[in-house]
Amino acid sequence: MLKSEEGKLIILSGPSAVGKGTVITALMDEYQDISYSVSVTTRQPRVDEEDGVDYFFVSETEFKEMIDNDEFIEWAKVHENYYGTPKKCVEDTLASGQDVILEIDIQGAAQVKKSYQQGVFIFLAPPSLEELEARIQKRGTDSQKAIEVRMENATEEMERAENYDYIVVNDEVEEAVEKVKSVIIAERCKVD
């Protein structure tokens, strides 16, 4: 099948605990020609997270040096921590013809849209804000104050979902994965 020489940049955003990581893991299990872009963050790793696999964990000083050196496609301060997408790795992977998927917040997606208008922007939404709060509580990794901040951010994020090319509701993970796969397949078939 004909494939464009450059890979597609796929951006997946959505509120905290909506299931972005779960959807991406399922996609990565099925597609070998999608590369996951590992983000850089200043937040502390969770118990099950591994440096260089889930995130590159750095100090705030290191992160700010990377900003000064223009090493990010996008970066933002979210939930009191910095997050960013390393530029060189993404651009090299796209140039090799492989698709790259970014799991980033709405601030970062807005930055990416300015530089990569050809990107595919997908917003993963919860079935309801009540369900989202239950998922955050179930995760058991956040204080009550952190949950309140995440819920405030989720409300704002939901209002800005209209800035995306596609919205997929993650009610049932398998259905959400199928819808995201359909978007990717359609975008790969699109005539430029």
158 vs 2 pLDDT, higher one:
158
Q: Is 179 annotated as a binding residue?
A: no
End-to-end CA distance of the chain: 16
* Distance (Å, whole) CA 143 – CA 162: 30
pLDDT bin (cut points 50, 70, 90) of residue 146 is confident
More confident residue, 187 or 2: 187
Enter the tokens of residue 123. 């917003």
Q: Which domains does the chain show, CATH number per domain?
A: 9-189 (3.40.50.300)
17 annotated to a ligand binding site: yes
Query: Is 119 annotated as a binding-site member?
Result: no
More confident residue, 149 or 112: 112
Per-residue pLDDT of 32-50, as tens digits, reads: 889 999 999 999 998 889 9
Closest CA to 123 of 99, 158, 154: 158
Kindly state the average pLDDT of the residues 3-31.
88
21 annotated to a ligand binding site: yes
The DSSP symbol for 162 reads G
Statement: residue 88 has pLDDT above 80: yes
User: 45 labelled as ligand-binding?
Assistant: no
- Could you give the percent of the chain with pLDDT greater than 90? 59
The predicted model gives 137-154 an average pLDDT of 82
Asked whether 101 and 34 are in contact (CB, 8 A), the reply is yes
pLDDT in tens, 125-135: 999 888 888 88
Mean pLDDT value across residues 114-143:
87
Q: Average pLDDT, whole number, for the chain?
A: 90
pLDDT of residue 4: 54
Contact criterion met (CB below 8 Å) for 87 and 71: yes
Q: Contact 119/10 with Cβ under 8 angstroms? A: yes
Residue 2: predicted pLDDT: 46
97 is an annotated ligand-binding site residue: no
Instruction: Output the pLDDT for position 16.
Output: 83
* Beta carbons within 8 Å of 102's beta carbon, 6+ residues apart: 9, 10, 11, 12, 37, 39, 73, 85, 90, 108, 112
Name the CA radius of gyration of the chain, rounded: 16
pLDDT, residue 147, reads: 82
Q: Is 52 annotated as a binding residue?
A: no
How far is Cα 176 from Cα 19, in angstroms, rounded to an integer?
9
Residue, of 174 and 16, whose pLDDT is higher: 174
Residue 182 has pLDDT above 50, yes or no: yes
Residue type, 165: D
19 carries a ligand binding annotation: yes
Instruction: Evaluate whether 102 touches 85 at the Cβ level (below 8 Å).
Output: yes
